[in-house]
Amino acid sequence: MGAKGEETRARLIAGTRELIEEQGYFGTGLNQVLAATGAPRGSLYFHFPGGKDQLVAAALVQAGQEVADLLTTLAAEGADAAALTQRLTEVFAERLARSDYTKGCPIATVALEVAGTNEPLRAVCAQVYESWQHILAEQLAAGGFRPAEASTAAGQALALMEGAVLLASVRRSREPLDDARHAVLHLIGAEKSRRP
């Protein structure tokens, strides 16, 4: 595929990400994606022969990878699980504030709509969340948690943060994110203090 084809593909994915964050899976149609990106219909089906679900999956994978890359980079720079939590809170809070609380987490937006009805997209969402949990668990293990405890605590932290993104959107306030950050830091400290 040439540079122009890659550019069109990237535009389609970026446009889809924007739309699903603002309008959700069911609120986003392919005609809207084409209008927003200026891509020809033929290009859409050339790059995404599976149609909307394949395009949405690519957008979810890309969004998930950006967060995973951020967490991995911070971990490589020496950030512990507490620092990762702090940074993740800020990333979500900044995204929400910049969008006037219309854009939180594209994974959660789609997962809430399709988890019970669209197995392929549910699986993509699950894989993204698992990748984030794995990175957090690795940092907890590096800080002295036993592997099973690290995985459990990372899952709890992720659940707190994702729930907080939803509450922050609804309340139009970053306060739920700050509350979740404090709860995660307490969880990490409390679990750490119980280790032998």
Domain membership flag for residue 149: yes
Does the pLDDT value for residue 86 go beyond 90? no
- Which structure tokens are listed for 125? 């969402």
51 burial (CB, 10 Å; 0-12 / 13-18 / 19+) is: exposed
CA distance 191 to 174: 26
Domain membership flag for residue 1: no
Q: pLDDT tens for residues 102-160?
A: 888 889 999 999 999 999 999 999 999 999 999 999 999 998 999 999 999 999 999 99
CA distance 110 to 125: 8
**pLDDT higher at 54 or 187:** 54
φ, ψ (nearest 5 deg) of residue 38? 75, 15
Does the pLDDT value for residue 185 go beyond 70? yes
CA distance 3 to 156: 42
Question: What is the distance, to the nearest Å, from the Cα of residue 10 to the centroid of all Cα atoms in its chain?
Answer: 18
- SS3 label, residue 193: helix
52 burial (CB, 10 Å; 0-12 / 13-18 / 19+) is: middle
pTM of the model: 0.89
Domain membership flag for residue 17: no
Q: pLDDT tens for residues 42-76?
A: 999 999 999 999 999 999 999 999 999 999 999 99
Q: What is the CATH number of the domain that holds 146?
A: 1.10.357.10
Domain membership flag for residue 174: yes
Domain count, the chain: 1
Domain membership flag for residue 107: yes
Does the pLDDT value for residue 196 go beyond 70? no
The least confident of 27-36, 58-67, 86-95, 164-173 is: 86-95
What is the span of the domain harbouring residue 92? 56-194
CA distance 10 to 7: 5
